[in-house]
Amino acid sequence: MRTADALCATLREAIARHPDVSIDCSAAAEVDLTFIQLLIAARKSARQSGKAVALMARPDGALLHALTAPAFVSSPRTNPASRRFFGSKEPQHEKEDPHRR
């Protein structure tokens, strides 16, 4: 958590000082969901201030892996267990009509 707090403070300061912020993730050995959320939040915050945040290069290595890793839970639309997990009911169009042939 300390690392996320420090990164958040660094991103805020960079956005406050510069109109465009480029982030170099090439040396990242580990990337988790918190890091990705911070990148997205920084980009959104900068955009609201008329500024920009972008990656210096296309995602690679740990960042690419984190961005493309399989979902933790499959889609509620295709998996009944996920529908139950998320507390949603089965969509009407997926129920089989007993009168339909």
Give me the pLDDT at residue 25, please.
92
Give pLDDT, residue 80.
63
What angle in degrees, to the nearest 10, is found between the helix axes of 33-48 and 61-68? 90
- Give the domain ranges of the chain: 2-90
Report the distance separating Cα 19 and Cα 54, nearest Å.
11
Whether the predicted pLDDT of 12 surpasses 60:
yes
Predicted confidence at residue 33, as pLDDT, reads 87
How long is the chain? 101
Chain centroid to Cα 33, Å, comes to: 7
CB 19 within 8 A of CB 52: yes
Three-state DSSP class for residue 53: strand
Tokens standing for residue 2: 């300390």
More confident residue, 14 or 87: 14
pLDDT digits (tens, 9 = 90+) for 32-49: 889 999 999 999 999 999
Q: What is the mean pLDDT of residues 14-26?
A: 95
pLDDT in tens, 49-101: 999 999 998 888 898 888 887 654 455 566 665 455 455 444 444 444 455 45
Separation of alpha carbons 19 and 48, rounded Å: 12
What are the structure tokens assigned to 90, written together? 């089965």
Confidence at residue 52, expressed as pLDDT on a 0 to 100 scale: 93
> How many Å separate Cα 101 from the centre of its chain?
43
Give me the CATH topology for the region 2-90: Transcription Regulator spoIIAA (3.30.750)
For the cut 60, the answer to whether the pLDDT of residue 14 exceeds it is: yes
